[in-house]
Structure 1
Amino acid sequence: MSLLQDLNAGKLHTFHGGIHPPERKAPANLTPISHAGLPEELILQVRQHIGQPARVKVQVGERVLRGQPLTEPLNPMMVPVHAPTSGTVAAIEDRPLCHPSGLDGLCIVVKPDGEDQWRPRYPIADFRLLGADVLLERIHQAGIAGLGGAGFPAHVKLRPRKKKIEALIINGVECEPYISADDRLMREHPAEILMGVEILRHIVQPQLTILAVEDNKPEALAALRAVNRDENLLIVAVPTKYPSGGEKQLIEILTGLQVPRNGLPADIGIVVQNVGTAYAVKQAIIDDEPLTRRVVTLAGDAFGEPGNTWVHIGTPVRHLLQRYGLTPEPEQRIIMGGPMMGFTLHSAAAPIIKGSNCLLAPRQAELAPPAEEMACIRCSNCADACPANLLPQQLYWYARSQDHDKLNSHHLFDCIECGACAYVCPSTIPLVQYYRVAKADIRHAQREAELAERAKLRFEARQQRLAREKEERQARQAKAASERKARMAEQAKAGGDDPVAAALARVKARQQEQGPDDMAAARTARKEEARRNRELKQAQAAGTTDNTATGDTNTAPNDGAANDKKSAVAAAVARAKARKAAQDDGVPASAPADDSVAAKDKKSAVADAAAPTDNTNDDPKKAAVAAAVARAKRARPHRRRGQPPGPRRRQRKPAAQ
């Protein structure tokens, strides 16, 4: 109630700093809003707002209708892009962006067909019958972002908060020089703007609604007051001062409250929306028309026809320059935005986006290019002009030295980049440019730190998972061992014998039955068998290779070798058993003659096991190996047709036979 009384009494507050640059609103604000027409192609940036770009949902060659969504939002911070007119999707590729960097980015190129055919629309007669959540969803699907220049998604600002919203402020303070888009919109469409304000009030449910307009726009103030029939809506004229159109500065002017550092206006119970956003909300809710066009100011002496015009989103800047008679001079600058917060375009192929409110083409005599930077003289003019009550000189030094900790401690991110400090600097230091670069570096460092922290958390989680799995595995093994022991104990208790002891006893008995000589003979026979198998495989491999090279695929198998080996092993085992039986019959084991006989028998058994299994002088296996080696020596590799010759080798002299 005290705020309402103060506003009715005309009591306003002020903010620290600020400047009064030349307004230069005329001649752009003297003529009605025109229509820029359709270009040959519309270039729609996929990302035109603060937040993540939405997912493309159309394909090249697809025909689209006006108002049809071309992208699909997957979270609240994604805002869709719609077709400004009917036509065909000509390309989905990287094009020059409307951005200070001048880089390329993903764009959807639509070629108009001239029919301007709308998608099906479903207007609403009475928005009061719908809930706030339904209206917010329609605003989201309409692709409305803040049209004041920041591009923040409108539905995110309007969604319910923990703290009740006490005041809704509609920002009609267009304080930057040259720009008059909101001024002409308030003059020509006051009823639509107030209808949008009613919708916003229905969603937010504030205790007080204020529409603030700068006092250098008397025609806009008169037009709004003429159609206002709501006593709960206050239309207030604020003093002309730059940057009074800033969100935090306007709140302080109207309420005397300051938004806390790193906070939002909603933290103190206030929501701020632009008059252009209110008009777009009315179009989206009442007429079911998404945001596909906006008013853009064309200013500067280089334009033959300056003024304000309705421009389809995605219109290339080159089309506007040709349409409104640009007469360029050498090194002509084209600025997107105003002279204070705008940026110079790198290419005229860049498109108009939702946050584009002005296209400035000044001559050098009208707006001189930046002068050469000189040394800081520590005059403190920048600190006196800063509306955020910062220390621009200190921020400048820390930005040059890339001292991020000092920049954060001096609240760099509270800077609204209004350019007031650079405007009053006698050394013509581009302070805002230093701040923008420093902000980008800090954001990049923060992203890198976040990625490193996520990687660390993933590594620690993996280590914990591995340790947990190891503990679980050990627990399972211990449980299985205990269960096995219990089961064995039960079996021993039921049968009277220990299963493990019984198994060991059986193994020992079997070893005693065989005897050491039998085991040694069997081991020797197994070794001999393994050696013969290796030789047989080598001989077969050599014979196969030689037969393949010569075209002969018939190999003679050595079938008798395996049977001879088995018989030799059996004979050796039989002789060992016979010796064991003779010793058991009473022959003394310590007799030297018997020992020599036993040793000779063992040697003869091993020799018999290792001897060739046939009576012929020529071993077939050795003969096969020798034949294969001889054929391999005689054969020479032939080079295939088209294959490059290998390196030549020096031929060696044959060895003497």
Structure 2
Amino acid sequence: MNTLYEAVIERLDQNNLWQFPGGVHPPGQKERSNTQPIQRMSIPEVLYVPVKQHTGVEGDIIVTVGESVLKGQPLTRSSLPFAVPVHAPTSGKITEITPQPSAHPSGVPEMAITLVPDGNDTCAMLKPLSQYQQLPKSTVIEAICDAGISGLGGAGFPTHIKVSPTKPIDFLIINGIECEPYISSDDRLMREHAWQIRQGIDVLNYLIEPKCIIVAVEDNKPQAIEALTIACQDSEHYRVVSVPTVYPAGGEKQLVQVLTGREIPRKGLPADVGCVMFNVGTCYAIADAIFSGKPLTERVVTITGSAIEEPQNVWAMLGTPVLHLLTHAGYLPHKQQEQHVIMGGPMMGFTVTRLTVPVVKITNCLLVPAKNELPAPEDERACIRCGFCADVCPATLLPQQLYWYSKSKEYDNAEEYNLFDCIECGACAYVCPSEIPLVHYYRKAKADIRNLRDEKDKSDKAKARFEARKARLLAEKEAREEKHRLAAQARKQAMEKSDSGAKDKIAAALARAKAKKSQSTENSESPQSTAQEKKAQVQAAVARAKAKKAQTAQNETTSADKKAQVQAAVVRAKAKKAQTAQNETTSADKKPDADTASNNKTSGTQVQDQPEMSDAERQKREKIAQAIARAKARKLNQQNSSGDS
């Protein structure tokens, strides 16, 4: 159950804080580097700017090889919610965009942009938002994202996501706890730039609107506490709280519990208990982005260890190779048995694989220990079940159980024992008498589990795609079958409609047949009238035949008359022709010729050397011939008539 807000405020006013379980008290070793102000470094000869320097996804690269860039110019673009852009730390020329050794325990190469500085350090145009309170919150949040700001305390979570909580916030916690040995970068930043940190807190207060703001600083940093108290004294809304020095009091869950008495649930977030937390370095970067318009291109890094001639804190450009920082601080390799550089502190840091590894946004320290400065790693021995690791675990886990399950790769059991609640603080390994590198096993187990989850996610996505394709094909098949069924149903209905029409026709035919049969029945009941009708029909047919025959005979007679008339006309024509020939002969000395004889022969008259006839005789003969022709025609007509009868 969460502690009530009023009870928390009362205990804060009394400086009566809660405690988290476990914890250790390693030697601080901070006085090596926290006595000198933060120094400026020379510009390195080359910068390797990793594309991804935060928790989330990398942005899209928007520069090309050979392109000249200005200081603060974006090199990538934020295209997704959890993407944060990176910027050019100085002006120069892009020479390569290739994988480079990463700031990671494995040193696995990651995509990086190689920038060769031109030495001018020319800055791009800046766009400050000094009147941010008069702007929409979305505009201010967008400016924070565009400035490439992510958590500088170690996790590297995108800041623009954290400043947009979905739940009411009671406490905005500013983390000034720097509990790990040797590191003093936040201490020097709070001493020298307390007012700018206050400005960043003001911006967060505007965006989040918490009920109370708590600035937490360890009690071994009195100068930092004083500087922040002065910076925040004009607002009773702000409380600077001194926290007991216990490692790892700077952990998110541990600090929330110390200040508010509220415990963040497993797999939960501080917002679930009404809290949100930011590092003092993040507040400084927010103030730089809003009031000066500067993107995040540099951070304070502690360079310390007995193998460093001048331990100090420096402003290091992001992408600066480790070797350049060591050279600046006076690296003494002869004090080491072998080259050994730790990025981070002795508890949670890791050994860099190469000195070309670049400084990134979460790099807060480079520890270069001399030989015998840190306990030399001894051979791992068997666990004696002493329980010391469980006593100091700030997350109240059972480290020995997690060790056995992680080592044997029984990852299901390791997860049952809340492996992912481990904050990898290293307190368990610090007190282990068997020199077991417990955190090493936990990190490896977490990485393996994440890889297995990624593979399972890919498999599940592939299965989902397969199931979706299968469902789509089945749906298409069902759609086709439904289409065919509807078509068949339509055809069946059309056939039924056609059959009904045929049935109607058949019914009509049957009706006609029945009517005809009924009529036939009626006719059979009166046979006499039927016979009379048949006889009358026969007589009518005979009469029609006779009329047709008479008509035919009449037509034939008409044809004979026409034939006789034609013959008579031919005779007349011949007679006329003979007369014409005779006249021509008379005019030619009245001598008969072959033509006259031929004409006489043709006309049926046999004239052989007859003497010349007078006109009266010729006319007489013509009349006789015409009378004979008419007599023949009449005779032929009579014969035809007698034949028809």
Matched, 1:77 2:57: no
What TM-score comes out, normalization by structure 1 length? 0.74
Residue aligning to 1:458: 465
1:333-375 CA distances to partner (integer Å, 9 max, x unpaired)? 1000000000000100100000000001001221133111111
2:179 paired with 1:172: no
Decide which of 331, 347, 360 is 2:354's aligned counterpart.
Answer: 347
1:324 corresponding residue in structure 2: 329
Counterparts of 1:492 and 1:16 in 2: how far apart (Å)? Answer: 92
| Partner secondary structure for residue 100 of structure 1 | coil
| TM alignment of 1:564-603, pairs within 5 A | none
CA distance in structure 2 between the partners assigned to 1:84 and 1:369 by the alignment:
37
**Aligned equivalents of 1:492 and 1:8: distance in 2?**
98
5+ residue gaps, structure 1, are 499-657
1:259 to 256, 264, 274: 264
Shift of the 487–414 alpha-carbon distance from structure 1 to 2, 3 Å rule, reads same
The Cα of 1:155 is off from its aligned counterpart by 1.3
SS at match of 2:27: coil
Q: Which residue of 1 aligns with 2:345?
A: 338
Q: Does the 8 Å contact 2:8/2:261 carry over to 1? A: no
Aligned residues with identical type, % of pairs? 51
Please list, as runs of the form range in 1=range in 2, the aligned pairs for 1:114-513 lying within 5 A after superposition.
114-161=119-166, 163-228=167-232, 229-328=234-333, 329-487=336-494
Give the AA of the match of 1:197: I
- Distance between the aligned counterparts of 2:60 and 2:43, measured in 1? 26
Structure 2 residue identity aligned to 1:214? E
Q: Distance in 1 between matches of 2:84 and 2:320?
A: 19
How far apart in 2 are the matches of 1:482 and 1:423? 82
Task: Name the TM-score, length of structure 2 as normaliser.
Answer: 0.75
Inter-partner Cα distance in structure 2 for 1:190 and 1:343 = 30
Query: How far apart are residue 404 of structure 1 and its match?
Result: 1.3
Match of residue 49 from structure 2: 44
Number of residue pairs the alignment of both structures matches: 497
Letter in 1 for 2:475: R
| CA deviation string 1:277-308 (max 9, x = no partner) | 00000001111111000000001011111100
The amino acid across from 1:347 in the alignment is: R
Shift of 1:226: 2.1
Report if the CA contact (8 A) 1:225-1:235 is conserved: yes
Q: Is the 8 A contact 2:337 2:371 kept in 1?
A: no
Q: Does the alignment pair 1:25 with 2:20?
A: no
Cα separation, 1, equivalents of 2:22 and 2:496: 92
- The offset of 1:483, in angstroms, is 2.8
Distance 2:350 2:459 in 1: 34
- Matches of 1:137 and 1:370, distance apart in 2: 47
Corresponding residue SS for 1:471: helix
Q: Is the 8 A contact 1:37 1:311 kept in 2?
A: no
Paired AA for residue 24 in structure 2:
I
Shift in Å at residue 485 of structure 1? 4.1
1:57 and 1:71 in contact (8 A); partners too: yes
3-state SS, counterpart of residue 286 of structure 1: helix
Does residue 103 in structure 1 map to residue 112 in structure 2?
Answer: no
1:202-254 deviation line (CA, Å, top 9, x unaligned): 11100000000000001111111222221110001111110001111111111
Q: 1:11 aligns with which of 10, 16, 19?
A: 16
Residues 391-419 of structure 1 show CA distances to partners (whole Å, capped at 9, x for unaligned) of: 00100011111111111111000000000
Q: Distance in 1 between matches of 2:380 and 2:165?
A: 47
1:479 Cα deviation from its structure 2 partner: 2.0
Instruction: Please give the alpha-carbon distance, in whole angstroms, between the structure 1 residues aligned to 2:353 and 2:202.
Output: 41
C-alpha separation between the residues in 1 aligned to 2:112 and 2:144? 23
Distance in 2, Cα, partners of 1:157 & 1:447: 25
Structure 1 residue 330 displacement after superposition: 3.0
Superposed CA RMSD in Å reads: 1.6
Question: Is the 1:35–1:310 Cα contact (8 Å) retained in structure 2?
Answer: yes
**Alignment partner of 1:451: what SS?**
helix
Map 1:518-537 → 2, pairs under 5 A? none
Secondary structure, aligned partner of 2:66: coil
Whether contact under 8 Å (2:130, 2:290) holds in the other structure is: no
Contact 1:422-1:429 within 8 A present in 2 as well: yes
**2:286 aligned counterpart, secondary structure:** helix
Check whether the contact 1:383–1:421 (CA below 8 A) recurs between aligned residues: yes
AA in 2 matched with 1:403: E
Residue 26 of structure 1 and its aligned partner are, at CA, apart by: 1.5
- The one-letter code matched in structure 2 to 1:169 is I
Name the SS of the counterpart of 1:395 in structure 2. Answer: helix
> In structure 2, the residue corresponding to 1:93 is in which secondary structure?
strand
| One-letter identity of the residue aligned with 1:225 | T
| Inter-partner Cα distance in structure 2 for 1:115 and 1:52 | 32
Question: Which residue of the partner structure matches residue 600 of structure 1?
Answer: none
Secondary structure class of the residue paired with 2:292: coil
How far apart in 2 are the matches of 1:130 and 1:239? 39
Give 3-state SS (helix, strand or coil) of 1:30's partner.
Answer: coil
Partner amino acid for 2:179? C
For the pair shown, which has the larger CA radius of gyration, 1 or 2? 2
Measured in 2, the distance between the counterparts of 1:131 and 1:13 equals 38
Q: Kindly provide the amino acid, as one letter, of the partner of residue 172 in structure 2.
A: L
Q: What amino acid does structure 2 have at the position aligned with 1:321?
A: L
| Matching residue's letter, 1:172 | G
Indicate if the aligned counterparts of 2:148 and 2:295 stay in contact, CA closer than 8 A.
yes
Deviation at 1:434, TM superposition (A): 0.3
User: Post-superposition shift, 1:68?
Assistant: 1.1
Mark the runs of 5 or more structure 2 residues left unpaired by the alignment: 1-5, 506-645
- Deviation, 1:134, is 1.6
